[in-house]
A and B are shown apart, each in its own frame.
Chain A
Amino acid sequence: MQEKHSIVVTAINKPGVLARISSLITQRGYNIENVIGTATEDPNIYKLNFGIRGTDEQIEKIVKQLNKLIDVIKVEDISHKKNFIIREYLVIKVRATNSKRTDIFELIDVFRAKILDVSKTWITIELSGPPRKISRFIELLLPFGIQQYIRSGEIALRE
Chain B
Amino acid sequence: MEKEITGAKIVIDAFRNEGVDRIFGYPGGAVIPIFDELYNATDIKVILTRHEQGAVHAADGYARSTGKVGVVIVTSGPGATNTITGIATAKMDSVPLIVISGQVKTGLIGSDSFQETDMVGLTRPITKHNYLVNHIEELPHILKEAFYIARTGRPGPVAIDIPVDISVAKLKDYKYPDSVNLPGYKPVYEGNVKQIKKAADEISKAERPLLYIGGGIVMSNAHQEVRELAKRTNIPVVSTLMGLGSFESNHKLFLGMPGMHGTYAANHALMECDLLIAVGVRFDDRVTGNLKTFATKATVIHIDIDPAEIGKNVKVHIPIVGDAKKVLTKLIEYVKPRQRSNWNDNVEAWKREYPLKYNQKEKREILPQYVIDSLNGIVPEDTIIVTDVGQHQMWAAQYYKYKYPKTLLTSGGLGTMGYGLPAAIGAAIGNPDKTVILISGDGSIQMNIQELATAHLNCVNVKILIMNNAYLGMVRQWQDLFWDRRYSSTCLKRNINCPDVCDGSHKKCPEYYCPDFIKLADSYYIKGYRVENPDDVVPTLKEIVSFKGPALVEFAVHREENVFPMVPAGKSLNEILVDDWR
Contact = CB atoms under 8 A, between A and B. Distances in A.
Interface of A: 11-12, 15-16, 19-20, 23-24, 27, 60-61, 64-65, 67-73
A71 B181 CA distance: 11
A69 B156 CA distance: 12
Contacts of B183: 12, 73
Contacts of A67: 307-308
Contact of A20 (B124, B134, B311, B312): B124
Contacts of A71: 184
Contact of B128 (A15, A16, A65, A70): A70
Contact of A70 (B129, B307, B311): B129
A24 B311 CA distance: 18
13 contacts: A12-B183, A15-B134, A16-B132, A19-B124, A60-B311, A61-B308, A64-B308, A65-B308, A67-B308, A70-B128, A70-B184, A71-B184, A72-B184
A61 B149 CA distance: 22
Given A23-B125, A24-B125, A65-B308, 12 more contacts: A16-B132, A19-B124, A23-B124, A61-B312, A64-B308, A67-B307, A67-B308, A68-B306, A70-B129, A70-B149, A70-B184, A70-B185
Contacts of B312: 61, 64
A15 B109 CA distance: 14
B182 interface: yes
B98 to A, nearest CB: 14
B492 interface: no
Interface centre among A20, A60, A68, A72 (most CB of B within 10 A): A68
Nearest to A10: B184
Contacts of A70: 128-129, 149, 182, 184-185
A16 B131 CA distance: 10
Interface bin, chain B: 10 to 19
Nearest to A44: B183
Contacts of A12: 183-184
B415 to A, nearest CB: 19
A72 B311 CA distance: 21
Contacts of A68: 306, 308
Contacts of B132: 15-16
A69 B129 CA distance: 8
A15 B120 CA distance: 11
A85 B124 CA distance: 33
B150 to A, nearest CB: 11
B184 A73 contact: yes
Contacts of A69: 184
Interface in B287-320: 306-308, 311-312
Nearest to B120: A16
Contacts of B308: 61, 64-65, 67-68
B515 interface: no
Contacts of A65: 308
B499 interface: no
B377 interface: no
Nearest to A71: B184
Interface centre among B121, B129, B184, B311 (most CB of A within 10 A): B184
Contacts of B307: 64, 67
A77 B308 CA distance: 16
A72 to B, nearest CB: 5
User: When A and B form their complex, which 3 residue pairs have the shortest distance between CB atoms, in order from nearest?
Assistant: A64-B308, A70-B129, A73-B184
A61 B312 CA distance: 7
A19 B184 contact: no
Interface in B171-191: 182-185
Nearest to A65: B308
A76 to B, nearest CB: 14
A147 to B, nearest CB: 37
Contacts of A16: 120, 132
A34 to B, nearest CB: 22
B457 to A, nearest CB: 38
A15 B182 CA distance: 16
A23 B123 CA distance: 11
A70 B128 CA distance: 8
A102 to B, nearest CB: 53
Contacts of A60: 311
A67 B184 CA distance: 8
A111 B312 CA distance: 45
A11 B120 contact: no
B291 to A, nearest CB: 13
A12 to B, nearest CB: 6
A16 to B, nearest CB: 7
A16 B129 CA distance: 12
B76 to A, nearest CB: 18
Contacts of A61: 308, 311-312
A60 to B, nearest CB: 8
A27 B125 contact: yes
A134 B559 CA distance: 69
Contacts of B311: 60-61
Nearest to B127: A70
Contacts of B185: 70
Nearest to A57: B311
Nearest to B312: A61
A117 to B, nearest CB: 37
A71 B128 CA distance: 11
Interface string B119-159: 01100110011001010000000000000010000000000
Given A64-B307, A65-B308, A11 B124 contact: no
